[in-house]
């Protein structure tokens, strides 16, 4: 099947390669000639001119965007005048699903189709396959099935769930039509919100293990420090990297994220190549906001999100106010950093 890809970064480029390997015909467009050439070398056709790109696509056209969320609207704005009724735009980036609902409406008025696809898989997707969460009209999504099927990992990537038999359904291959427009990115949004929670659970737990030796450290003894009542319970020097490794097999907490944690800790057990300023790229925020609007609790996911904010210094003013209050009511003076 023919597909035109716009955006040839880490994700888009690898997806094209995976599609070519599966026998699909890929046209690629990027304003950077080098990015285009790299994929032409792998078997794609390519261009740095958008008009060319559109002209070369067979009608009804299928254009897949793999660009940062912030530029999806401008790219669609450039594309629309070149497209014709019946063409389809797929947004495979990390758009906010509110934008999908709006865009689908705007494009529908012009006779164009819009499909929102949340894609998970990161830099590993080329070999491992990508997981797709899809929102859009039934028939349009159905037409794209060969693409999804080739990008997805396939049923053999995991044991079948007990009770599943016969011809695997798409969800078992690694893609799911979740509902009308926005549903794909809605599910991807929550996927990432869960990811924040999972990551934070591992990080908290491994931090507790990392600090299992507090009873061996010299204890400060002053009115501003809580004494450790039983230092003898905290005298363990535990190899965190090996703990991550051992949990990968047979334990209840085995996961792909744990595999990655084991990998990171093997490279650098103290993780001192990182400063601990953790970015967030939107989906965690939107997940919390969706929970709030739905009126359902999300204490774990929000705690994970807030920890990222705090890691970047966003609680400094609040923390200073706490110290100020302690000084006001009790005359407590902040301890200098070295003594904490």
> Mind telling me the catalytic residues?
188, 195
Q: Which of 131, 140, 141, 144 binds a copy of itself (CB under 8 A)?
A: 131
Q: State which residue, 47 or 182, has the beta carbon closest to a copy of itself.
A: 182
Interface segment toward a copy of itself; rule CB under 8 A; list 45-53, 55-63, 77-85, 317-325: 317-325
Binding mask 209-248 for a copy of itself (x = CB under 8 A): xxxx-x------x-xxxxxxxx-xxxxxxxx--xx-xxxx
Q: Report whether 283 contacts 188 (CB < 8 A).
A: yes
Interface segment toward a copy of itself; rule CB under 8 A; list 29-37, 80-88, 124-132, 139-147: 124-132
Q: Which of 39, 54, 72, 265 binds a copy of itself (CB under 8 A)?
A: 265
Q: How many residues belong to the site for a copy of itself (CB under 8 A)?
A: 176
Collect contacts of 276-281 with beta carbons under 8 A, ≥24 apart.
Answer: 276/311, 277/311, 277/312, 278/307, 278/308, 278/311, 278/312, 279/308, 279/312, 280/196, 280/305, 280/308, 280/309, 281/94, 281/192
Q: Cα separation of 25 and 3, whole Å?
A: 6
Q: Cα separation of 317 and 55, whole Å?
A: 55
Angle ∠(279,305,10) on CA atoms, nearest 5: 40
- Strands across the sheet containing 88-91: 45-47, 25-29, 2-6, 62-65, 88-91, 113-120, 131-135, 175-179
Minimum gap (Å) between residue 150 Cβ and a copy of itself: 12
Minimum gap (Å) between residue 141 Cβ and a copy of itself: 14
Q: Cα separation of 188 and 184, whole Å?
A: 6
State yes or no: residue 75 binds a copy of itself (CB under 8 A): no
Report how far apart the first and last C-alpha atoms of the chain are (Å, whole number): 62
Q: Which of 26, 115, 133, 144 binds a copy of itself (CB under 8 A)?
A: 133
State yes or no: residue 326 binds a copy of itself (CB under 8 A): yes
Contact positions with a copy of itself (CB under 8 A) in 13-42:
none
Q: Which of 96, 109, 111, 140 binds a copy of itself (CB under 8 A)?
A: 96
Minimum gap (Å) between residue 109 Cβ and a copy of itself: 16
Q: State which residue, 2 or 120, has the beta carbon closest to a copy of itself.
A: 120
Angle between the N-to-C axes of helices 97-108 and 72-79, in degrees from 0 to 180, rounded to the nearest 10: 10
Q: Which of 41, 161, 166, 218 binds a copy of itself (CB under 8 A)?
A: 161
Phi, psi torsion values for 133, nearest 5 degrees: -115, 120
Phi, psi torsion values for 25, nearest 5 degrees: -100, 120
Contact positions with a copy of itself (CB under 8 A) in 171-210:
171-176, 178-180, 182-183, 186-187, 190-210
How many other C-beta atoms are found inside a 10 Å radius of the C-beta of residue 37? 15
Q: State which residue, 64 or 186, has the beta carbon closest to a copy of itself.
A: 186
State yes or no: residue 149 binds a copy of itself (CB under 8 A): no
Q: State which residue, 43 or 231, has the beta carbon closest to a copy of itself.
A: 231
Minimum gap (Å) between residue 212 Cβ and a copy of itself: 6
Minimum gap (Å) between residue 219 Cβ and a copy of itself: 10
State yes or no: residue 263 binds a copy of itself (CB under 8 A): yes
Q: Report whether 278 contacts 306 (CB < 8 A).
A: no
How many other C-beta atoms are found inside a 10 Å radius of the C-beta of residue 307? 17
Minimum gap (Å) between residue 59 Cβ and a copy of itself: 31
Q: State which residue, 86 or 330, has the beta carbon closest to a copy of itself.
A: 330
Q: Maximum CA pair distance of the chain? A: 77
């Amino acid at each position: 099947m023919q597909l035109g890809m716009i955006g040839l970064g880490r994700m888009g480029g690898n997806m094209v390669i995976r599609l070519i390997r599966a026998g699909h015909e890929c046209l690629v467009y990027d304003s950077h000639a080098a990015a285009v050439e790299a994929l032409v070398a792998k078997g794609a056709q390519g261009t740095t001119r958008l008009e060319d790109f559109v002209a070369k696509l067979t009608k009804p056209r299928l254009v897949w965007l793999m660009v940062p969320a912030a530029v999806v609207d401008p790219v669609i704005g450039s594309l629309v005048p070149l497209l014709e009724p019946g063409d389809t735009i797929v947004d495979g980036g990390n758009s906010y699903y509110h934008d999908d609902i709006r865009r689908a409406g705007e494009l529908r008025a012009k006779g164009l189709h819009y499909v929102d696809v949340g894609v998970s898989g990161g830099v590993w997707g080329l070999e491992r396959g990508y997981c797709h969460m899809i929102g859009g009209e039934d028939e349009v999504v159905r037409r794209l099935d060969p693409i999804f099927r080739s990008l997805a990992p396939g049923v053999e990537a995991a044991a079948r769930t007990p009770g599943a038999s016969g011809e695997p359904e798409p969800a078992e291959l690694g893609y799911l039509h979740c509902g009308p427009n926005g549903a794909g990115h809605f599910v991807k949004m929550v996927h990432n919100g869960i990811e924040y929670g999972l990551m934070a659970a591992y990080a908290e737990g491994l931090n507790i293990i990392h600090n299992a030796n507090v009873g061996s450290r010299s204890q400060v003894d002053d009115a501003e420090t809580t004494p450790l009542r039983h230092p003898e319970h905290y005298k363990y020097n535990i190899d965190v990297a090996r703990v991550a490794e051992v949990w990968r097999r047979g334990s209840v907490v085995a996961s792909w994220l744990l595999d990655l944690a084991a990998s990171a800790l093997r490279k650098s057990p103290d993780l001192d190549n990182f400063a601990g300023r953790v970015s967030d790229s939107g989906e965690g925020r939107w997940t919390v906001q969706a929970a709030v609007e739905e009126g359902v609790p999300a204490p774990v996911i929000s705690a994970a999100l807030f920890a990222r904010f705090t890691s970047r210094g966003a609680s400094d003013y609040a923390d200073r106010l706490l110290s100020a209050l302690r000084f006001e009511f009790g005359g407590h003076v902040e301890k200098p950093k070295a003594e904490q």
